[in-house]
Amino acid sequence: MNLTLAAKSQLIRDKAKELGFDLCGIAEADFLSEEKERFIDWLDKDYHGEMGYMANNIEKRLDPRLLVENTKSIVMVALNYFPENTQEDSEAPVLAKYAYGKDYHFVIKEKLNALLEYINQEIGETQGRAFVDSAPILEHAWARKAGLGWIGKNSLLLNRKLGSFMFLGELLIDMPLEYNTETYLDFCGGCNRCIRSCPTNAIVSPKVVDGSKCISYFTIELKDEIPEVMKGKFENRVFGCDICQDVCPWNRMVKPHAVEAFKPNPEILSLSKDDWFAMDAHKFGKVFKNSAVKRTKFKGLKRNLDFLNE
């Protein structure tokens, strides 16, 4: 079957939708010249804090062809994770919504590998790899290039229908395809709600986040003790932070996802304030067995809880 590039690309987008992805776009693998200066400046200002890995493999981050040899196309996908229900106790430590259900890394990776298998079987033999927040790839930049949305002032990808509560993933393949050439318009306008609402002032300017001031950084990435200067600024966040997303007007009308694996674990949503602070290692392992929260381990979560409770 001799398919045109356009036909191949459409088949990929159709299959991605069939697999449950909400968005799929394709970009030509190239050097991210526009992002280079901004990224280097971000590193020079130490906005990555103790995330030393961000300063590694800089050239690969800017050019995926160095990451996976012979890469020609980047197939970007997005999956809505906005939940229908949230935590029941309004006084309980607040968990980022992305951690309510099954760890997204496994869910999306499985779907991407199924998409790669489909490409090989139905479209043409190709070599490639699937990634989900697991490689030196500037995902938001590639998602924008693939036409999935625009970069909001909180540096996250925004889409008019899905808002920003989206997981991203990508396939890097050596198959030429038809590429997105249209730039998704920026619909943030004069709105600065995300900037004004960040309790730690981590959004230092539109689209620039000082990662070393972000609540998500302190509660997930930071391995040392949380600085005392941050006392009283977390707004009860214990793992991750959704504040800049919760206040975004584009997230007001987002419909809840329909992904079975992302359905909130009832045990997580029903945890009371007392349950959280009385949690031991056994309870932690049971409740967060399949959640991304396990990344911080009980020791990390206990540190965060102690910080909120002091």
Kindly report the backbone phi and psi dihedral angles of residue 304, in degrees, each rounded to the nearest multiple of 5, phi listed first: -65, -40
Query: What pLDDT score does 310 carry?
Result: 75
Report the DSSP pairing between strands 73-80 and 166-173.
antiparallel
How far does CA 132 lie from the centroid of its chain? 9
Predicted confidence (pLDDT) per residue in 153-164, tens digit: 999 999 999 999
Give the pairing of strands 23-28 and 73-80: antiparallel
Query: Nearest to residue 154, comparing CAs of 39, 48, 248, 46?
Result: 248
Angle of CA points 26, 20, 18, to nearest 5°: 80
Other beta carbons less than 10 A from residue 33's beta carbon: 9
Quick: pLDDT tens for 103-113.
999 999 999 99
Residue 43: strand, helix, or coil: helix
For the chain, the structural domain boundaries read 1-310
Q: Tens digits of per-residue pLDDT, 120-141? A: 999 999 999 999 998 899 999 9
* Confidence label for 66 from pLDDT (cuts 50, 70 and 90): very high
- Which of the residues are catalytic? 133
pLDDT digits (tens, 9 = 90+) for 189-235: 999 999 999 999 999 999 999 999 999 999 999 999 999 999 999 99
In the numeric block, which tokens belong to residue 285?
């392992």
DSSP state letters, 95-164: E-GGGSSS-HHHHHHHHHHHHHHHIIIII----EEEESS-SS--HHHHHHHTTS-EE-TTSSEEBTTTBT
For residue 58, which of 36, 41, 76 has the smallest C-alpha distance?
A: 36
Contact 222, 299 (CB under 8 A): no
- pLDDT tier at 1 (50, 70, 90 boundaries)? low
Q: Write the CA distances from 105 to 93, 97, 227, 232, integer angstroms.
A: 24, 15, 30, 32
Give me the chain's average pLDDT, please. Answer: 96
Predicted TM-score (pTM) of the model is: 0.95
CB within 8 A of 2, min separation 6: which ones?
none
- Distance (Å, whole) CA 201 – CA 307: 19
Residues 65 and 71 sit within 8 Å (Cβ to Cβ)? yes
